[in-house]
Chains A and B, each alone.
Chain A
Amino acid sequence: MSRRRNNVRGPMSALTEFLRESGINPDTIARRVATQNQAENLSPSVAGPSNSGDNVEGALEQEQQEEDVPQASNGRRTRGRASRAIDYASDELDDPEEESPAKKRKSTKGRATAVAKAKAKKKAKEDGDYEGSSEDEYTAVSKNLWSMGGNGGPKPPVGSFENCAKCEKQFTVTKYTMAANPPPGYLCHPCSKASGNDPFKKPAVPRKRKPVADKRDIVSYEERRFPTLAAMCIELITRYIDDVEALGDIGSMNMDEIAKALSKNRGLTPENAHLFYDVLNKKLRFYDATNLTPDALATLASLNPNLTHLHLDYCGRLTSPVLSGFATSMPQLTSITLLGPFLVRAEAWIEFFKAMPCLRVFKITQSPRINLKCVQALAESCTKLEELSLREIGLMDDTFADPLCSLSPLRVLDLAFPGIGIDEDGWIRLMETHGGTLETLDASKHEGFTDHVLLDGVRKYARVLLELKLQECLDLTDEGVAQFFTDWASPISTLKHDDDDDDDDMDVDSAPDDVSAVSLGEFTPNPPLHVLSLARNQELSSAALTAAIIHSAQSLTWLNVNGLRGASSEALAELKRATELRYLDVGWCRELDDFVMKDVVTACTKLSEIKVWGCSRVRGVGWGVKSTGMLTSLNKLTQWHKTFTIMMSLSIQGVALAIGLLAFFAIVRWMSPHKRHMPPGPTPIPFLGNVFDINADALWVSYTKMRETYGNIVYTSALGMDIVVLNSEEVANELLEGRSQIYSDRPYISTRDLFGWEWATPFLRYGERFKTHRRLFHQVFRPEAILSYRPKQLQKAFEMLPRLLHDPTGYAGHFESSVLICLLPKPQVLLLDRFSASVIMSVVYDYDIASHDDVIVSAAKGAMDLFLRVATPQKTALFAAFPFLMKLPCWVPGLGLKDAILSKKYVKDMLDMPYDYVIRNRAS
């Protein structure tokens, strides 16, 4: 509250704004929980303390108590509703005679509109539509029936006599007595039972908000480890980090663990960062420095003058002057690792290199400004460099090869995911220079890294290579890689002749020949690899995989063969030779099945993490249970690409898209249609309709074809559902915009409620609830209102732009909704942007998506995954045609009813967690 008092207010999130206007604060929430049960036991006539005077509506008491604002209750619900239907913002909403003194007082202060709005909102709340923010709307109706008579008066006290409204017999009022429908009066027990309401039915217990900690056990992987006490303490300390005055001498390992745990919820701030500083510190690593301002980063340098190793992830606010400050404040720095130093300019890098001649380790990920001059300066100044990593450097191209070759021999060279990439020739020269000392090589996504580089570069020069990562090197071929791994251990000269016919265009041939002649005598084969990644090389297949495993089986600890779609199950079965494996990613290896996995898990006893995303044949049967103590990602996203993508978005774009698309291709009428008035269309067959005319996987193709025959408006039907397709924008505008009075509605999607999406605005049918949603949307997202979100949008846009610069090809990924991106198999897309999602989360909940394993994103991911995978259009149609199927017990196979239950859980998390976050943050 104190924040508000000083009259300085930044842009607030929409939810915060809404809660504030409605007078909801942590206290009222807490009180609500406390009073909820109590209120239920009380007889309705015992009014809450805040209700006075003519306040009568029992059902409303609870809601009003929460409001914490004196307010005269609106006695007639029906009238309130009617007037609201006219115009929500008008002052007619409040009947003059019912206006409360509080309101009048406020009105005179010239805040009439604000108050009226707040009241309108409250009234919306009173209505069942919005009750309890996300509670089931149906409980509201029954609650009202319970407690109030249709005449709006209070329910007579328990024990008094009433005449039944239906049978006119006298009966005793009990707490189970229900109001007559239609009003006025009350029903005796037999009558209320006869009218279909069970008077003894327990009112739906208001859903209790579970503590967040309980909900987080739903994640996409399963960890079956018993946490150590130290881990628990670290978690606890992280939670209370802002109360810690000093961490004391807890050891660097624990310090690091706390820093790591803090990054999970972006907990590191300029205030608590001091806990990690010390004059004697040699090493410092922050896993998420997003919230550290340039000033805080400068402080970091001055408070840790003896640092030798500095590692900052997500240091987006590191500016040029700060980097210069690093050079002067930390003279002993030999190792610097930065993720995302977008703001540092080329001149600052050059200056930094010149000031830091002793640099041994220089690792940068994602910098759009490192150019040729920087690398030249690096090569000139930092002559002692041993480890170099320039990942995701947008400007990297062939010209980088020269300065990189002039560096002293490196142990680690990582040039992954460049903008353009180094060509074949450059790579051979690089291998020639650094090959002898290179232990780690990452050439991911370099198109110039070809078979030829492997055979004539890596094989010839590498002697101590232990880690090799070649993701998305699309020019590698199966045969080439297989040959490389098969021949790697044997001396070059013996095979030289076989290769010669391939190397017809080799002008560098002479040089390698000399080298091989020299090294012929003392040939030592490269030891087997420890780390190997061949992920997303779709050309690679069984031969390459088998050869690689045979070559390195004995020492391989980390293997990523994600996306080797063609690899046969025999080749994958070879994995069982790699008994030292600890991490294995076999995602999207379509041939992988449970039998192979069982063998692998049995043989590789040291495995601690397996990823089997997108392996449709892996179900975890027979091995999943055995592998206790193991981190297993068992998400099978096998069908996501087949299904509709329109129903999945949290983002505004997504919502707009969904509304547009739904309206575009379907106006569904449920009541028996007058077929003869329907537009022309293909002849339906009885009952099934046009099922066979419509290709469910590519609706648009079918509909476009129909246009040629039937014109712009086509009528089809499927499984009893009538579909009118509007095949041109003009017609769509004309009907949906121009005559929206008649046509604005949406089809009922039968799987919506089943999967817990009944709250989602794009799926709502026209009605009170939809109107409430629209009103809320209008309030906070109308053109004038969104101006206040501009700073946040800008901030997110700035975060997004560098990523766009890096990976222009991932353009769509930058803008699509987070959920869609989470579903994509490519982790780097995940790392890239969720621009729209981050804007939405920031604007609505003031929540910054965490850098890794964001809990809310993963809940959303789970929910979306299930909805897309299980609630296919086909299934939706099936449920619509046979609604009783939804009532079947969940063990009935083939209907996905179990998934529906799970989905509801996920959806609940997705809704509750950001909400809890807001509430929590308001409390602090």
Chain B
Amino acid sequence: MPNDVQMNDAGAEKQDDWVKITSSDGYSFLVKRSVAMISGTLKNMLSEDSSFREAIANTCPISERAAVVEKVCEFMSFKAYYEGPGSKEGVDVNEFTERIPPEVALELLLAADYLEV
């Protein structure tokens, strides 16, 4: 799972390339396109038939601080990993709930709501 959020130079395939998500305080996160597509809002932003600036630059700004954006990326990777093919075993979803620090929960809720994840 960690390699979903790591830096990667290649980016050969369209489905397999990387997109950049930036937070309001200047951090940026690289996630696979398939991972970013989990979020409805990001999906629309990156939609190929749109000519949004985000789609062209492959960069999506999220106006939340890095701690929140990081958790969002983590969740998307988590979901992509467990919903993807090959991992049919039961998912303990509580596992992720435990990884959310309570102090960001409210902000995260707002971000999650906005990003439709």
Interface residues of A (CB under 8 A from B): 213-214, 226-230, 232-237, 239-240, 243-244, 247-251, 253-254
Task: Tell yes or no: B72 within 8 A of A by CB.
Answer: yes
> Which residues of chain A are near B102, meaning CB under 8 Å?
236-237, 239-240, 243
> Which residues of chain A are near B75, meaning CB under 8 Å?
229, 232
Partner of B108, one of A227, A233, A239, A240: A233
Give complex CA distance A113, B93 in Å: 51
> Which of chain A's residues has its CB closest to B94's CB?
A213
Task: Tell yes or no: B105 within 8 A of A by CB.
Answer: yes
> Which of chain B's residues has its CB closest to A231's CB?
B112
Give complex CA distance A226, B79 in Å: 8
Is there contact, CB below 8 Å, between B112 and A229?
Answer: yes
- With A214-B94, A228-B112 known as contacts, the answer to whether A233 contacts B117 (CB < 8 A) is no
Given contacts A237-B106, A239-B102, 5 further A-B contacts (CB under 8 A): A213-B98, A229-B75, A229-B108, A237-B105, A251-B113
Give complex CA distance A226, B100 in Å: 16
Interface core residue of A236, A248, A250 (most chain B CB under 10 Å): A236
7 closest A-B pairs by CB = A233-B109, A229-B112, A230-B112, A236-B105, A229-B117, A229-B75, A240-B102
23 A/B residue pairs, CB under 8 Å, sorted by A: A214-B92, A226-B83, A226-B91, A229-B75, A229-B112, A229-B117, A230-B109, A232-B96, A233-B105, A233-B112, A236-B105, A237-B105, A237-B109, A239-B102, A240-B102, A240-B105, A244-B106, A248-B106, A250-B109, A250-B110, A251-B110, A253-B113, A254-B109
- Smallest CB separation, B78 vs chain A (Å): 9
- With A213-B94, A251-B113 known as contacts, the answer to whether A229 contacts B105 (CB < 8 A) is no
Give complex CA distance A619, B71 in Å: 41
Is there contact, CB below 8 Å, between A229 and B72?
Answer: yes
- Smallest CB separation, B111 vs chain A (Å): 8
Chain B residue total in the interface (Cβ 8 A): 23
Task: Tell yes or no: B97 within 8 A of A by CB.
Answer: yes
> Which residues of chain A are near B93, meaning CB under 8 Å?
226-227, 232
Is there contact, CB below 8 Å, between B113 and A235?
Answer: no
- With A240-B105, A244-B106, A250-B109 known as contacts, the answer to whether A233 contacts B100 (CB < 8 A) is yes
Contacting residues of chain B (15-40) with chain A, CB-CB under 8 angstroms: none
> Which of chain B's residues has its CB closest to A251's CB?
B113
Is there contact, CB below 8 Å, between A250 and B97?
Answer: no
Give complex CA distance A249, B109 in Å: 11
> Which residues of chain B are near A248, meaning CB under 8 Å?
106, 110
> Which of chain B's residues has its CB closest to A237's CB?
B105
Give complex CA distance A233, B94 in Å: 11
Interface core residue of B75, B79, B82, B112 (most chain A CB under 10 Å): B112
Give complex CA distance A247, B110 in Å: 11
- Smallest CB separation, A526 vs chain B (Å): 38
> Which residues of chain B are near A228, meaning CB under 8 Å?
112, 117
> Which residues of chain A are near B106, meaning CB under 8 Å?
233, 237, 244, 247-248, 250
Give complex CA distance A239, B96 in Å: 15
Interface residues of B (CB under 8 A from A): 71-72, 75, 79, 82-83, 91-94, 96-98, 100, 102, 105-106, 108-110, 112-113, 117
> Which residues of chain B are near A214, meaning CB under 8 Å?
92, 94
Is there contact, CB below 8 Å, between B97 and A235?
Answer: yes
- Smallest CB separation, A221 vs chain B (Å): 15
- Smallest CB separation, A450 vs chain B (Å): 50
- Smallest CB separation, A105 vs chain B (Å): 44
Give complex CA distance A108, B91 in Å: 59
> Which residues of chain B are near A213, meaning CB under 8 Å?
94, 97-98
- Smallest CB separation, B58 vs chain A (Å): 22
Give complex CA distance A550, B89 in Å: 41
- Smallest CB separation, A246 vs chain B (Å): 9
Is there contact, CB below 8 Å, between B94 and A236?
Answer: no
Give complex CA distance A233, B102 in Å: 8
- Smallest CB separation, A278 vs chain B (Å): 16
> Which residues of chain B are near A237, meaning CB under 8 Å?
102, 105-106, 109
Give complex CA distance A243, B100 in Å: 16
Give complex CA distance A637, B93 in Å: 29
> Which residues of chain A are near B113, meaning CB under 8 Å?
230, 250-251, 253-254
> Which residues of chain B are near A251, meaning CB under 8 Å?
110, 113
> Which of chain B's residues has its CB closest to A253's CB?
B113
Is there contact, CB below 8 Å, between B97 and A236?
Answer: yes
> Which residues of chain B are near A229, meaning CB under 8 Å?
71-72, 75, 108, 112, 117
> Which of chain B's residues has its CB closest to A227's CB?
B93
- Smallest CB separation, B56 vs chain A (Å): 27
- Smallest CB separation, B28 vs chain A (Å): 20
Give complex CA distance A230, B96 in Å: 12
Give complex CA distance A249, B82 in Å: 32
Give complex CA distance A243, B104 in Å: 12
> Which residues of chain B are near A240, meaning CB under 8 Å?
102, 105
Give complex CA distance A253, B94 in Å: 23
- Smallest CB separation, A214 vs chain B (Å): 7
Give complex CA distance A253, B116 in Å: 13
Give complex CA distance A377, B34 in Å: 62
Give complex CA distance A144, B30 in Å: 59
Is there contact, CB below 8 Å, between B100 and A232?
Answer: yes
Give complex CA distance A226, B33 in Å: 20
- Smallest CB separation, B10 vs chain A (Å): 29
Give complex CA distance A214, B83 in Å: 21
> Which of chain B's residues has its CB closest to A258's CB?
B109
> Which residues of chain B are near A227, meaning CB under 8 Å?
93
> Which residues of chain A are near B105, meaning CB under 8 Å?
233, 236-237, 240
Interface core residue of A235, A243, A253 (most chain B CB under 10 Å): A235
Give complex CA distance A235, B72 in Å: 16
- Smallest CB separation, B12 vs chain A (Å): 29
- Smallest CB separation, B13 vs chain A (Å): 25
Give complex CA distance A466, B112 in Å: 35
Give complex CA distance A503, B98 in Å: 67
> Which of chain B's residues has its CB closest to A238's CB?
B105
- Smallest CB separation, A467 vs chain B (Å): 31
> Which of chain B's residues has its CB closest to A240's CB?
B102
Interface core residue of B97, B108, B109, B112 (most chain A CB under 10 Å): B109
Partner of B100, one of A236, A244, A253, A254: A236
- Smallest CB separation, B71 vs chain A (Å): 8
Give complex CA distance A236, B110 in Å: 13
- Smallest CB separation, A255 vs chain B (Å): 10
Give complex CA distance A232, B72 in Å: 12
- Smallest CB separation, A757 vs chain B (Å): 28
Interface core residue of B79, B106, B112, B117 (most chain A CB under 10 Å): B106
> Which residues of chain A are near B109, meaning CB under 8 Å?
230, 233-234, 237, 250, 254
Give complex CA distance A249, B110 in Å: 8
- Smallest CB separation, B2 vs chain A (Å): 19
- Smallest CB separation, A755 vs chain B (Å): 25
Give complex CA distance A243, B105 in Å: 12
> Which of chain A's residues has its CB closest to B98's CB?
A213
Give complex CA distance A472, B43 in Å: 49
> Which residues of chain B are near A243, meaning CB under 8 Å?
102
> Which residues of chain B are near A230, meaning CB under 8 Å?
109, 112-113, 117
Give complex CA distance A236, B83 in Å: 22
Give complex CA distance A248, B108 in Å: 13
> Which residues of chain B are near A244, meaning CB under 8 Å?
106
Interface core residue of A229, A230, A243 (most chain B CB under 10 Å): A229
> Which residues of chain B are near A239, meaning CB under 8 Å?
102
- Smallest CB separation, A902 vs chain B (Å): 16
Give complex CA distance A805, B19 in Å: 64
Give complex CA distance A31, B40 in Å: 46
- Smallest CB separation, B79 vs chain A (Å): 6
Give complex CA distance A776, B102 in Å: 40
- Smallest CB separation, B82 vs chain A (Å): 7
> Which of chain B's residues has its CB closest to A236's CB?
B105
Give complex CA distance A249, B113 in Å: 12
Give complex CA distance A230, B40 in Å: 13
Give complex CA distance A253, B112 in Å: 13
> Which of chain B's residues has its CB closest to A228's CB?
B117
Is there contact, CB below 8 Å, between A232 and B83?
Answer: no
